[in-house]
Structure 1
């Protein structure tokens, strides 16, 4: 089971009041009973088809015999390399599960040509690809499926025998997969939203095929479920919801996550989507900020606009410390997020602003000439775009970054969004800490388009106090998407420009830095951030 320790709380009286109200209204037990009325009449229709995650520790066990049989069949054929094509809820949980278990899983949640090419360069003779999409129409995942299907065929491998699908019943992907005779089609529970799907087929199928013990996850969640159903102020989900609700009421709308030795790898990335997409709407919500460790900028020096959470043992800078095994943590944070939705007065199961960026991206793909723009400035290997929000003329990256910080609201945040290869270009992540240290603003870092299926909802629907740095870059060898009129590089750029366009429509400042050379561009960016005026 999990434990939640309140290390320090500046709003202790209000925390107690919120917790008592949740218990008096029997919210935990009603949530366990899948009561859709908990979030008000406007949310009831959506909630009525989104609450099956509360019993997945029981219902998902029926998957286990099928998974055992499939893995045995694949291993008998010499197939033991697993690639996962999925976005958001279809990829974040499996990545945490397999990294924590120490088993290899190649996760494709990108449109960067080089990253996809690296996945293709693995041993195809030993490879099975799991194609996961709840809607069945996710553009990134569909592109990966098409690319791998052609690669298998070109290598003389029966492509259908190497493709496993996870989707919702009745989706276009189910129909197409069955018609194509793919190896196996797993149908997930349709009454579970993507970000709550860690213990559905979306989380369990790729993780088990990669070698993780998913039965243990279900056991951990089952043990935790007993506590989470209790109408008690000691219920850990009640504690989390009360602390976050009280903090938000006092202007602390950010939650800063640092791992302090939990043994869970990458948990913050999974919690980031759950919290941001569930709460970030109608101008309110909680913004997760995932940092490098308890000594990182944004955690050790957090201001009054943030609540710091240690995943693992408590540290001196933490407001909260949450400990427990992975399966239990999944269920705890799902409960806590649903409860805090009630506290904030929002529906934690919809995502009203996600589709806007997708529509803008599709429009740019249909009219690629529109995507071209003249740089506002050129500084070495970096082109700067979209500085109309600046209060003065900028000619360099350092000047543009300084100007962006100048227009950031008090207690706002900076979002760095890198549309690059998150494996080979991983060094770009160091920009988060460098920017946070020098600006004293909470700073998030997201890989595009991965973050569009995670924090993208919050950026458009949550508190409108963010400023945005997009990083795009030239690609080397591009990849065609079979049967589609665009390449991966064109799709990647369209996604960046489309999301930037929607942010601008919301009145948010967006600075796009395009790197003509990625390595030289990173050096230029770091140097610019470290200049005194940045």
Structure 2
């Protein structure tokens, strides 16, 4: 990586992109010939073709939302002062409503509890944590997100059960949503403060809108700095040269159109923490449609399994660097370094550029509703009856017909079926905190195959990479992990529990994948701790 950083770079606004200057020259030249930088900077909605124009007209506000967001700063300062005694900030949101604030908090070292799950154990633990000092930010662009509505209901009931009046409970909530959404009306009825989001910015591009800034400000972040960092970069976006966003986008587009359709995202250890989880949604949901797309693989370190391969573009990210400073092993193809606010804007711009190279609409998500519809139907009608193919220890195995009747064999068959162009997506409908060890399945299985392996928490991943899995290249295989619920939690005012909702979401997702003839292996843990240990052991034994 030191050699990479010592080479030529494109730099503006404190953000640098190393490694993209020569490799993507032809694609970049074609984009410049279309006058793409100037047209994009001026919000030309025709860049992605006539079919995308109507959506693009109302989704290009991210290019300058950092300037409009300054209008929020006085209100945020007042809100922070009014709620100074509520020092435990909980963010209830999914996908674009939660991923950017989590990166901001992690990078800047501020405490923020992100609740983006329907696992009853994780929800129960959040409700039990410093309730009397908690302010809950309810974030939903559409205002109808089932997970977020369930969190709102659970916290409202918890505050009332703790003896607060409705007026007192209302003080513990802040709502962020689009003007006119159903959630805005609900918040008005609750007497809750509502901060409107920018209606011209889609969820995954909303890092520098109220969705990113409100929870970050309440957590103690100086959010004006993020806006300043983005503004320092913004002047470069209309240029044909000295434009790191264009350099990154052209490199991503070049890779995706020349066979390197997987992007491995790895931190370089220089102070930007968790950006890969945010960029994963941005890239997958923006490009994964019409049978094409960029598959992001989020890695913990440069030397993690899956960082390299003939169809992998490895991109490291971090804070400010001088040549030779990046720590750790690894040979990244690109290195993106700079302040966090600039990162947000640069990656958004680059994703829109890469989508133009791929010929897809970066602002729609045509396949995300299928799993949601399946979930609603299952909640209304009940889950379909199914029986495990076999049980091994604490793991029930639901495998395709003819699969080996042992856990290692079933996993090995799934890996062997990936072929030369497939990938494996591991999705865990479990407790992201209490069952965190199950994330070790990704590196363990990546060591056993030369193909990409991703990992996502359900239902969080449905709002992140779910679009890619349904609308992208039809070459994915899926390992779904679910777990027994021993202490369920009701969703107040709804005829189902969190455990039932979680199970319905997992089943609905399986149905959506099976309907596309994608291979799905489901492993159900009858006892979670023992089952996770058993799975990790079995994954380690799949190496041939």
Q: Give the TM-score category using the shorter length.
A: over 0.9
Kindly indicate whether the alpha-carbon contact (under 8 Å) linking 2:264 and 2:314 is maintained by their aligned counterparts in 1. Answer: yes
Kindly indicate whether the alpha-carbon contact (under 8 Å) linking 2:80 and 2:218 is maintained by their aligned counterparts in 1. Answer: yes
> Which position in structure 2 is the counterpart of 1:180?
190
> Which position in structure 2 is the counterpart of 1:306?
312
* Alignment equivalent of 2:487, drawn from 465, 477, 484: 477
1:533 to partner: Cα distance: 5.9
Asked if 1:111 is matched to 2:118, the reply is yes
1:387 to partner: Cα distance: 1.6
> Which position in structure 2 is the counterpart of 1:230?
239
> Which position in structure 2 is the counterpart of 1:383?
396
Kindly indicate whether the alpha-carbon contact (under 8 Å) linking 2:20 and 2:247 is maintained by their aligned counterparts in 1. Answer: no
Structure 2, unpaired ranges of 5+? 1-13, 319-324
Asked if 1:273 is matched to 2:281, the reply is yes
- What's the secondary structure of 2:468's corresponding residue? helix
In 1, Cα distance between the equivalents of 2:29 and 2:381? 55
In 2, Cα distance between the equivalents of 1:418 and 1:94? 22
Structure 1, unpaired ranges of 5+? none
Q: Deviations over 1:265-321 (max 9, x none)?
A: 10000000000000000000101000120111111xx11111001113666521101
Asked if 1:324 is matched to 2:330, the reply is no
Q: Deviations over 1:119-157 (max 9, x none)?
A: 111111111101000000000000000000000011012
In 2, Cα distance between the equivalents of 1:466 and 1:22? 30
Residues 160 and 24 of structure 1: is their aligned pair in 2 closer, same or farther, counting only changes over 3 Å? same
> Which position in structure 2 is the counterpart of 1:54?
63
1:179 to partner: Cα distance: 1.9
Q: Deviations over 1:101-126 (max 9, x none)?
A: 11111100000011111111111111
In 2, Cα distance between the equivalents of 1:37 and 1:463? 25
> Which position in structure 2 is the counterpart of 1:2?
15
Please identify, of 237-246 and 308-317, the stretch whose mean Cα deviation from structure 2 is larger: 308-317
Kindly indicate whether the alpha-carbon contact (under 8 Å) linking 1:7 and 1:318 is maintained by their aligned counterparts in 2. Answer: no
Alignment of 1:42-81 (within 5 A): 42-75=51-84, 78-81=85-88
In 2, Cα distance between the equivalents of 1:262 and 1:230? 28
* Alignment equivalent of 2:265, drawn from 238, 250, 257: 257
Asked if 1:99 is matched to 2:106, the reply is yes
* Alignment equivalent of 2:131, drawn from 118, 124, 137: 124
In 1, Cα distance between the equivalents of 2:399 and 2:178? 40
In 2, Cα distance between the equivalents of 1:352 and 1:456? 11
Q: Name whichever structure is richer in helix by fraction.
A: 1
1:369 to partner: Cα distance: 4.3
- What's the secondary structure of 2:364's corresponding residue? coil
In 1, Cα distance between the equivalents of 2:453 and 2:532? 18
Kindly indicate whether the alpha-carbon contact (under 8 Å) linking 2:314 and 2:334 is maintained by their aligned counterparts in 1. Answer: yes
> Which position in structure 2 is the counterpart of 1:243?
251
Q: Deviations over 1:355-376 (max 9, x none)?
A: 0010011111111242x31011
Q: Deviations over 1:244-272 (max 9, x none)?
A: 22222221111001111230110000000
Please identify, of 511-520 and 23-32, the stretch whose mean Cα deviation from structure 2 is larger: 23-32
Alpha-carbon RMSD across the aligned residues, in angstroms, is: 1.4
In 1, Cα distance between the equivalents of 2:153 and 2:542? 48
Kindly indicate whether the alpha-carbon contact (under 8 Å) linking 2:156 and 2:169 is maintained by their aligned counterparts in 1. Answer: yes
Kindly indicate whether the alpha-carbon contact (under 8 Å) linking 2:448 and 2:543 is maintained by their aligned counterparts in 1. Answer: no
In 2, Cα distance between the equivalents of 1:488 and 1:529? 29
> Which position in structure 1 is the counterpart of 2:322?
none
Q: Under a length normalisation based on structure 2, what TM-score does the superposition of the two structures give?
A: 0.94
Q: Deviations over 1:65-111 (max 9, x none)?
A: 00110110111xx2121111000000000000011111111100000
Please identify, of 141-150 and 403-412, the stretch whose mean Cα deviation from structure 2 is larger: 403-412
Kindly indicate whether the alpha-carbon contact (under 8 Å) linking 1:414 and 1:469 is maintained by their aligned counterparts in 2. Answer: yes
Q: Deviations over 1:319-367 (max 9, x none)?
A: 1011011000000000000011110000000000000010011111111
Please identify, of 417-426 and 304-313, the stretch whose mean Cα deviation from structure 2 is larger: 304-313
> Which position in structure 2 is the counterpart of 1:333?
347
1:7 to partner: Cα distance: 7.3
In 1, Cα distance between the equivalents of 2:430 and 2:357? 37
1:33 to partner: Cα distance: 1.0
Kindly indicate whether the alpha-carbon contact (under 8 Å) linking 1:8 and 1:320 is maintained by their aligned counterparts in 2. Answer: no
Please identify, of 28-37 and 477-486, the stretch whose mean Cα deviation from structure 2 is larger: 28-37
> Which position in structure 1 is the counterpart of 2:38?
29
In 1, Cα distance between the equivalents of 2:302 and 2:346? 22
Alignment of 1:186-205 (within 5 A): 186-205=195-214
Instruction: Give 4+ residue runs of structure 1 displaced > 4 Å after superposition.
Output: 313-316
Asked if 1:418 is matched to 2:418, the reply is no
> Which position in structure 2 is the counterpart of 1:461?
471
1:531 to partner: Cα distance: 1.7
Asked if 1:170 is matched to 2:205, the reply is no
In 1, Cα distance between the equivalents of 2:454 and 2:128? 31
In 1, Cα distance between the equivalents of 2:360 and 2:451? 26
Please identify, of 198-207 and 396-405, the stretch whose mean Cα deviation from structure 2 is larger: 396-405
In 2, Cα distance between the equivalents of 1:262 and 1:447? 26
Aligned length: 520
